[in-house]
A and B are shown apart, each in its own frame.
Chain A
Amino acid sequence: MVNSIILNAATRLLVALLLLFSVFMLLRGHNLPGGGFIGGLIGATGFILYAIAQGAEATRAALRVEPQNIAMVGLGIALCAGGFAAFFGEAFFTGQWLFIGETEEDKGLPISSVLVFDIGVYLVVFGSILTLVLALEEEV
């Protein structure tokens, strides 16, 4: 924990910005650089910054859920996204797509199980990085 007014003031803005950016990276990941892994890393950076400014205890309070549990729930979500293909009689991890508002020329808004898998990856990375960093932060 660093006692600095500048850092404290900047953190308030930056944490929100980083979290927003991480979601943006997650969502653009299917066709452009980005995705769950990088998104999770950026999201974790936001909370790491918070931990540096406010301390590990405050970060745990802000997270509300234990980071280990976030990682494990993420693993569960990723697994469910892979298993979802079973309902359509296809192989494990086959992507399932739904195009909302599909017309002749336009594909509409694509929603897929691939995105759900990416969200799972996001949570796994986010949770495990924070588990490590908070453990180290508390040790110091």
Chain B
Amino acid sequence: MSWVLALPIIIPFATAVLSFLFRKGPEGRWLSVVGSAGLLIASGILMAEVLAEGVIAAQMGQWAAPFGITLVADLLSAVMVVITGITGLAVSVYALADIDERKEALGYHALFQVLLAGVVGAFLTGDLFNLYVWFEVMLISSFGLLILGGQRVQLDGGIKYVTLNLVSTILFLAGVGLLYGMTGTLNMADLHGAVQQVENQGLLVVVAMMFMVAFGVKAAVFPLFFWLPASYHTPAFSVSAIFAGLLTKVGVYALIRTFTLIFTSDIAFTHTILLWVAGFTMVTGVLGAAAMNDFRRILSFHIVSQIGYMILGLALFTPLAIVGAVFYLVHHIIVKANLFLVAGVARRIAGSTELSSIGGLYKSAPVLAVLFLVPAFSLAGFPPLSGFWAKYVLVKASLDTEAYWIAGIALAVGLMTIFSMTKIWGAAFWTPHPSGLEPSLSTLPSRDRAALLLPIASLAVLTCIIGFFPEPFVAFAERSAAQLLDPTAYVAAVLGDVPMEATGLAQAEVLP
């Protein structure tokens, strides 16, 4: 069983080594595609195992928990790893046509695979310090990807990115140290029991806030999101897409994990803060997007506003709200990565991402228009696409807890999202190209066309499938939410069947 958990981490690392050694030839990029396909298969096996057996855990090096490093997968971890596999494969196929040989020779594919390894590691680890290590792996590789190519604007964005993220990791590390000082353990399952015996519960809340800020920077929530719109529009489109899909979601995942498993002692306080944060994040993100006039910048700000919805699900902390958060997380990764990929194609054939200097795509590239329409309207929450169900569940959850104002904000922000999407639609697709150019997909070499459009189409189909057949996905999210709200199975899987005082969190008070 332990290899099922370890393989999704080993495969990207091994691929990174091989594709780096072959970085100067075409083998490197194909190794990257094969490695990503391998990761997808490994994640599928992991998912099958988790579905069949519930939470699974393995001790690396056979050092027993809580002393060694534990890898553990519940339904949430497993689905995140699967999504990482899907996005990873889509982007590495897209990169075949997007990344030039100069960037390849600098080691693009190796960095990309190390990033995937870091993301998967963060999803699978059951140890807080190990989570920190995976964050560092992600930070280093993503910084490398961000500045690859070495343009001035990239370095500018990269410095902002790495500085703010370093502040976050330092805060995270300080929090880890304090938590270890109070409880003597860093194994997350063990912490679940240990924090309940801490005498100074006030200090625990302080530590919880440190984690909230640290993960908040990673997740790009209000008011800590400034690094994201400053950097995401600068690198290659493949890099933007994988960042937009996965990086911030690791922060959201870490928030969900720690604030359902460890920091649940003062829900009325911590989760109320999260609720406010969620509201502000949604609003500022969408307003920022409305002020932008660049394809990628608009999308970057929308990442921020969408993160708000996921935090909203966590903050409400009812079973239905967690269902919404999990569903939203999955839907969003696919949609967002896809929109950035579409932006890349638009740039290739129309020459820019600045909305005022492109146009005419609807007339001359109708296929691309359809492929944009699916994720864009899913993002805005049009029925019957996947975003509609995600928003529906969250709004219903907030109405159920009588948090009418946040439900109102969620709906208003959805409306504003439509505004932004129609702005892109109007400027890039409907208005004629300002220089009279007729951007057409047929100007691309056929190999590039296939490599660029295949991933976009596959992700769009996936969005439609989730939209048209939401029942199995919602049912899955329900099972996952039940696991998150009652971590008994998680704790038992990691620590063995020792009797634990795992007070069922499902009975925890519901927020006002």
Interface residues of B in 284-328 (CB under 8 A from A): none
Q: Is the pair B20, A95 in contact by a Cβ cutoff of 8 Å?
A: no
> B409 contacts the other chain (Cβ, under 8 Å)?
no
In the bound complex, residues from chain B placing their C-beta under 8 Å from that of A73 are 17, 21
Q: Is the pair A94, B10 in contact by a Cβ cutoff of 8 Å?
A: no
In the bound complex, residues from chain B placing their C-beta under 8 Å from that of A21 are none
Q: Is the pair B17, A79 in contact by a Cβ cutoff of 8 Å?
A: yes
Q: Is the pair B61, A93 in contact by a Cβ cutoff of 8 Å?
A: yes
Interface residues of B in 1-49 (CB under 8 A from A): 2-3, 6, 10, 13-14, 16-18, 20-21
> A83 contacts the other chain (Cβ, under 8 Å)?
yes
In the bound complex, residues from chain B placing their C-beta under 8 Å from that of A86 are 3
The contact string, 1 if C-beta is below 8 Å from chain B, for chain A 120-137, is 000000000000000000
- With A91-B58, A91-B62 as contacts: A79 and B14 at CB distance below 8 Å: yes
Bound-state CA distance A93–B61 (Å) is 4
> B451 contacts the other chain (Cβ, under 8 Å)?
no
In the bound complex, residues from chain A placing their C-beta under 8 Å from that of B14 are 76, 79
> B154 contacts the other chain (Cβ, under 8 Å)?
no
Q: Residue on B with the closest CB to A91?
A: B2
> B107 contacts the other chain (Cβ, under 8 Å)?
yes
> A112 contacts the other chain (Cβ, under 8 Å)?
no
The contact string, 1 if C-beta is below 8 Å from chain B, for chain A 86-105, is 10001111110000000000
Q: Is the pair B17, A72 in contact by a Cβ cutoff of 8 Å?
A: yes
In the bound complex, residues from chain A placing their C-beta under 8 Å from that of B61 are 91-95
The contact string, 1 if C-beta is below 8 Å from chain B, for chain A 62-83, is 0000001100110110010011
Bound-state CA distance A76–B18 (Å) is 8
Bound-state CA distance A82–B3 (Å) is 11
- With A72-B17, A92-B3 as contacts: A79 and B59 at CB distance below 8 Å: no
In the bound complex, residues from chain A placing their C-beta under 8 Å from that of B110 are 72
Bound-state CA distance A103–B61 (Å) is 27
Bound-state CA distance A83–B2 (Å) is 11
Bound-state CA distance A29–B16 (Å) is 28
> B60 contacts the other chain (Cβ, under 8 Å)?
yes
Nearest CB of B to A138, in Å: 15
In the bound complex, residues from chain B placing their C-beta under 8 Å from that of A83 are 10
> Residues of A within 8 Å of B, CB-based: how many?
16
Nearest CB of A to B308, in Å: 37
Bound-state CA distance A90–B10 (Å) is 15
In the bound complex, residues from chain A placing their C-beta under 8 Å from that of B6 are 91-92
Bound-state CA distance A121–B60 (Å) is 18
Nearest CB of A to B1, in Å: 9
Q: Is the pair A92, B2 in contact by a Cβ cutoff of 8 Å?
A: yes
Q: Is the pair B60, A93 in contact by a Cβ cutoff of 8 Å?
A: yes
Q: Is the pair B21, A79 in contact by a Cβ cutoff of 8 Å?
A: no
Nearest CB of B to A72, in Å: 5
Nearest CB of A to B18, in Å: 8
Which of B17, B59, B60 contacts A76, CB < 8 Å? B17
Which of A75, A91, A93 contacts B13, CB < 8 Å? A75
Q: Is the pair A72, B21 in contact by a Cβ cutoff of 8 Å?
A: yes
Q: Residue on A with the closest CB to B1?
A: A91
Interface residues of B in 60-89 (CB under 8 A from A): 60-62
In the bound complex, residues from chain A placing their C-beta under 8 Å from that of B18 are 76
Q: Residue on B with the closest CB to A83?
A: B10
Q: Residue on A with the closest CB to B20?
A: A72
Q: Is the pair A91, B60 in contact by a Cβ cutoff of 8 Å?
A: yes
Q: Is the pair A91, B59 in contact by a Cβ cutoff of 8 Å?
A: yes
Bound-state CA distance A68–B22 (Å) is 12
Which of A75, A82, A90, A94 contacts B17, CB < 8 Å? A75
Bound-state CA distance A94–B60 (Å) is 7
In the bound complex, residues from chain B placing their C-beta under 8 Å from that of A82 are 10
In the bound complex, residues from chain B placing their C-beta under 8 Å from that of A91 are 2-3, 6, 58-62
Q: Is the pair A68, B107 in contact by a Cβ cutoff of 8 Å?
A: yes
In the bound complex, residues from chain B placing their C-beta under 8 Å from that of A75 are 13, 16-17
In the bound complex, residues from chain A placing their C-beta under 8 Å from that of B60 are 91-93
Bound-state CA distance A91–B21 (Å) is 28
Bound-state CA distance A93–B5 (Å) is 13
In the bound complex, residues from chain B placing their C-beta under 8 Å from that of A95 are 61
In the bound complex, residues from chain A placing their C-beta under 8 Å from that of B17 are 72-73, 75-76, 79
Which of A68, A90, A93, A94 contacts B20, CB < 8 Å? A68
Q: Is the pair A79, B13 in contact by a Cβ cutoff of 8 Å?
A: yes
Interface residues of B in 151-206 (CB under 8 A from A): none
Q: What are 8 contact pairs spanning A and B, CB under 8 A? A: A68-B107, A73-B17, A75-B16, A79-B17, A86-B3, A91-B3, A91-B60, A94-B61
Q: Which residues of B contact A (CB under 8 A)?
A: 2-3, 6, 10, 13-14, 16-18, 20-21, 58-62, 107, 110
- For the complex with contacts A72-B110, A90-B62, A92-B6, 14 further pairs of A-B residues with Cβ separation under 8 Å are A68-B20, A68-B107, A69-B21, A72-B16, A72-B21, A73-B21, A76-B14, A86-B3, A91-B6, A91-B61, A91-B62, A92-B2, A94-B61, A95-B61
Smallest CB-CB A-B distances: 10 pairs: A92-B6, A91-B2, A76-B17, A93-B61, A72-B20, A94-B62, A93-B60, A91-B62, A72-B17, A94-B61
